[in-house]
């Protein structure tokens, strides 16, 4: 079998890319290369967003099963040094629930100066931790915020903590963790009417807002296509207050499609002005999927590779690492997991439950969103 083309070879029961495939890093059978690592540091969260978690929470992983700061640093080292990963996003669960998050960031940043490290968080606790995280080497933050109305926020997140999230986003900006990106999920009849208000709020603060289509990754399995607020609807709602112009820049594997935001022409027909007020991103994973451009590889909080958010398979890295496997052996397992990455999630086909799409067992919080 040829080794120069990266054609898979059977090693034990696994398909492992070899030759050029190995040199190229985390390549898959469909010609994609993963360079963007999303690593979950914890499965636990202090909110219970209806589209993600059940009201009662989930059975959390015991602390001993979570990766330690040293293990996270080793796994990131394998990704960067052996597998060509160029970008790291820490996520969860809620990463700020880990008291040693600063230690994790500092250890990874010290081992990989220049590696862009960002964090996805609900922002609760950032007022006291943003400066420390920045000092530790964190570069940037995404704060999740679905509503500016305290009651709506509490209904969606099942916790009355809007003020802390807003203060957290401001604290991130003050600490220089910029650009602060805001992630918002819209739910029909709950907060979808807030889309223009959220955008006006974000633009006024210099935050980069991204709407995420709700994905069928909720622990309650309550997602329905009828309730999905689609990217087209989001653009329509925003168009009632702003003029959106497709951003000319290259998308380069980014999940969000970017739009320049301009003021609407005035009632007298006067142009709203050429200068953009900023940009807005829409992540249309369901209705306008971008699987063919995907550059992501994911590690769950207990150290398992998922090649895709919607995978049904995981490959354990932490177990072998703890049992004494070498960096090269762990890298081989990671390559094999990514080589098997499915071509697409299949969600864009009509009717969930069709052969095209089966919801994974794990919810978003347990995968690491």
Which residues 306-335 are close enough to bind ligand SAM by CB under 6 A?
A: none
Of 236, 234, 346, 243, the closest CA to residue 286 belongs to 346
| CA–CA separation, 15 and 343 (whole Å) | 16
| CA–CA separation, 91 and 95 (whole Å) | 6
51 near ligand SAM, judged by CB under 6 A: yes
Tokens 């998308």, residue located: 251
118 near ligand SAM, judged by CB under 6 A: no
120 near ligand SAM, judged by CB under 6 A: yes
Nearer to ligand SAM, 52 or 79 (CB): 52
Which residues 198-237 are close enough to bind ligand SAM by CB under 6 A?
A: 212, 214-215, 217-218
Question: Which ranges in the chain belong to alpha helices (H)?
Answer: 20-24, 69-77, 83, 101-111, 126-136, 150-157, 162-174, 195-205, 231-239, 318-322, 327-339, 364-367
92 near ligand SAM, judged by CB under 6 A: yes
Nearer to ligand SAM, 121 or 279 (CB): 121
Tokens 């009849």, residue located: 189
Longest distance between any two alpha carbons in the chain, whole Å: 72
Q: Which residue is nearest to ligand SAM (CB)?
A: 369
Residue 156 CB, shortest distance to ligand SAM, in Å, is 10
Residue 334 CB, shortest distance to ligand SAM, in Å, is 22
Give the residue, chosen from 121, 230, 279, 311, that forms a contact with ligand SAM under the rule CB under 6 A: 121
User: Dihedral sign, CA of 306, 312, 318, 320?
Assistant: negative
Give the residue, chosen from 37, 45, 261, 336, that forms a contact with ligand SAM under the rule CB under 6 A: 45
Of 18-26, 55-63, 87-95, 345-353, the segment contacting ligand SAM by CB under 6 A is 87-95
| CA–CA separation, 211 and 196 (whole Å) | 11
Give the residue, chosen from 118, 183, 300, 311, that forms a contact with ligand SAM under the rule CB under 6 A: 183
Nearer to ligand SAM, 106 or 367 (CB): 367
Of 107, 114, 118, 273, the closest CA to residue 183 belongs to 118
Token pair for 283: 């992540």
Residue 79 CB, shortest distance to ligand SAM, in Å, is 20
Nearer to ligand SAM, 81 or 160 (CB): 160
184 exposure class (CB count in 10 Å sphere: 0-12, 13-18, 19+): buried
Of 65, 79, 283, the closest CA to residue 185 belongs to 283
Give the residue, chosen from 185, 203, 258, 261, that forms a contact with ligand SAM under the rule CB under 6 A: 185
Nearer to ligand SAM, 18 or 118 (CB): 118
Nearer to ligand SAM, 214 or 279 (CB): 214
Note the Cα 29 to chain centre separation in Å. Answer: 23
Nearer to ligand SAM, 191 or 214 (CB): 214
Of 186, 142, 164, 181, the closest CA to residue 49 belongs to 186
Nearer to ligand SAM, 230 or 365 (CB): 365
Residue 212 CB, shortest distance to ligand SAM, in Å, is 4
364 near ligand SAM, judged by CB under 6 A: yes
Binding site for ligand SAM (CB under 6 A): 45, 51-52, 91-92, 94, 120-122, 144, 183, 185, 212, 214-215, 217-218, 364-365, 369
């Amino acid at each position: 079998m040829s080794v120069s083309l990266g054609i898979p070879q059977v090693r034990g029961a696994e398909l492992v890319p070899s030759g050029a495939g190995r040199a190229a890093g985390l390549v898959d059978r469909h010609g994609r290369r993963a360079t963007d690592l999303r690593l979950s540091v914890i499965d636990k969260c202090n909110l219970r967003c209806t589209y993600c978690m059940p009201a009662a929470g989930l059975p959390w992983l015991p602390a001993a099963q979570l990766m330690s700061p040293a293990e996270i640093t080793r796994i990131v080292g394998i990704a960067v040094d052996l597998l060509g990963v160029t970008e790291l996003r820490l996520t969860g669960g809620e990463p700020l629930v880990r008291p040693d998050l600063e230690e994790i960031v500092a250890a990874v940043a010290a081992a990989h100066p220049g590696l862009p490290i960002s964090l996805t968080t609900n922002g609760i606790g950032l007022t006291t931790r943003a400066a420390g995280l920045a000092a530790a080497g964190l570069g940037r933050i995404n704060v999740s915020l679905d509503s500016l109305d305290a009651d709506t926020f509490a209904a969606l997140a099942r916790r009355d903590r809007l003020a802390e999230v807003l203060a957290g986003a401001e604290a991130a900006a003050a600490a220089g963790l910029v650009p602060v990106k805001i992630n918002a999920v819209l739910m029909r009849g709950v907060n979808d009417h807030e889309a223009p208000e959220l955008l006006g709020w974000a633009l006024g603060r210099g935050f980069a807002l991204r709407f995420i289509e709700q994905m069928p990754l909720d622990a309650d399995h309550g997602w329905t296509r009828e309730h999905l607020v689609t990217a087209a609807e989001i653009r329509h709602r925003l168009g009632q207050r702003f003029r959106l112009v497709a951003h000319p820049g290259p998308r380069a594997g980014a999940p969000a499609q970017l739009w320049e935001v301009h003021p609407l022409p005035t009632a007298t027909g006067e142009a709203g002005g050429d200068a953009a007020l900023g940009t807005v991103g829409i992540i249309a994973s369901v209705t306008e999927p971008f699987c063919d451009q995907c550059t992501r590889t994911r590690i769950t909080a207990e150290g398992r590779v998922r090649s895709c958010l919607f995978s049904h398979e995981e490959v354990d890295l932490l177990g072998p690492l703890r049992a004494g496997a070498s960096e090269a052996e762990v890298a081989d397992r990671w390559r094999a997991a990514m080589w098997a990455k499915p071509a697409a999630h299949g969600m864009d086909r009509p009717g969930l439950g069709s052969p095209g799409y089966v919801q994974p067992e794990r919810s978003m919080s347990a995968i690491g969103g």
